[in-house]
Chains A and B, each alone.
Chain A
């Protein structure tokens, strides 16, 4: 029997809020499944990173994208739409992580094929529990497609 090879998480966080970035780093630092956390702060940078363009020519493709909706210039929906259009990127699971519980946001995110939608909790313990659950789910439960 082939042993199921445990894959390490290479996460791309698309988030402009410095406080949220720091909180995410604090939590994921302690998560053993996470090998790498890259951060980009707006929609255009996210696309450049994923396409290895501009200053991101040495970027390594992530196997999980955590995407905030509230970004300056181009918002999260734009990023979501762009990624899901491209052959080489559309299979990367995208977790929308946002404060918004607005129905129209939920509908639009799922219509644009976000893999799941998670609402950022107010408190630290809950945030930690949720982030770790997300990582655990996508790397210990779900079988991802990997083309390496």
Chain B
């Protein structure tokens, strides 16, 4: 039974109900939206925090690198220069053992100096990265080969390459990347003349590059360690180098959302592969 309500009353009631429901829905929407934006704000805060942390750590890296290029190298210069001065000035009063000891001192200090310079190089991949520009990769390879002219002539290396694409990249870093791989291919040669081929392929919008050699090859158990900083497979007397070349390559490749790996056969040769995914690159690129 409707309690003595007139149609007017009903409409009035419906009206109030209508307004009430509207208000309620507005409140509900309001709560949902504010919860969502709370989530988004939380994410945004997290994101900003991470970005801020990254920025600060990059700044620290830059400062460290700057300090390294000044304060760490000065004492080393003193060690090397004065050891050599000692030897020069007191030549007649130092016996063979003494001279040998002095050589070990200077060699140690020189090695440390090279390590510091290599660490600097490595850190500069991040701190001195330049904006990407459309670059002809054939020019990049030609520049790398020009830089390696001396060792190419010395070894008689025959170097060939596929037709290269034009990509939006940091030219300096890519020259470093190819130069390190080609330099290794020449250094770890097995027979004369060393033959090196640089290949390229595009699969599903990802660029695959390869540097193939007919050198001494690498045992599978060492594949993963190759890209660790200063990791070496040979003594300094066998092959020169501090072991920073491949880590540098890896860092550059990672900036472009890519991967780097090797396939090799001991005594036959190695092929180093790396991918570049221009869609996955660092935001700054």
Contact = CB atoms under 8 A, between A and B. Distances in A.
A76 B78 CA distance: 20
Of listed B69, B88, B109, B110, residue having the most chain A CB within 10 A? B69
A1 interface: no
Nearest to A26: B85
B113 to A, nearest CB: 6
A99 B74 contact: yes
B70 A70 contact: yes
A102 B88 contact: no
B84 interface: yes
Interface string B133-155: 00000000000000000000000
B77 to A, nearest CB: 6
Interface in B38-62: none
A58 to B, nearest CB: 31
B81 interface: yes
B85 A102 contact: no
Contact of B81 (A70, A100, A103, A127): A127
Contact of A100 (B69, B78, B84, B85): B69
Contacts of B113: 122
Given A102-B69, A103-B128, A70 B74 contact: yes
Contact of A99 (B70, B88, B106, B128): B70
A23 interface: yes
Contacts of B66: 102
Interface string A95-116: 0001111110000000000000
B73 interface: yes
A124 B85 CA distance: 7
Contact of B69 (A101, A124, A127): A101
B182 interface: no
A19 B80 contact: no
Interface in B168-188: none
A134 B198 CA distance: 44
B36 to A, nearest CB: 45
A20 interface: yes
A122 B77 contact: yes
B77 A120 contact: yes
Nearest to B86: A124
B131 to A, nearest CB: 16
Nearest to A22: B82
A120 to B, nearest CB: 6
Nearest to B71: A70
B69 A19 contact: no
A100 B68 CA distance: 9
B84 A99 contact: no
A144 interface: no
30 contacts: A17-B74, A17-B78, A19-B74, A19-B77, A19-B81, A19-B82, A20-B78, A23-B82, A70-B70, A70-B71, A98-B70, A99-B70, A99-B73, A99-B77, A100-B69, A100-B70, A101-B69, A102-B65, A102-B66, A103-B128, A122-B76, A122-B110, A122-B113, A123-B80, A123-B81, A123-B84, A123-B106, A124-B80, A124-B85, A125-B84
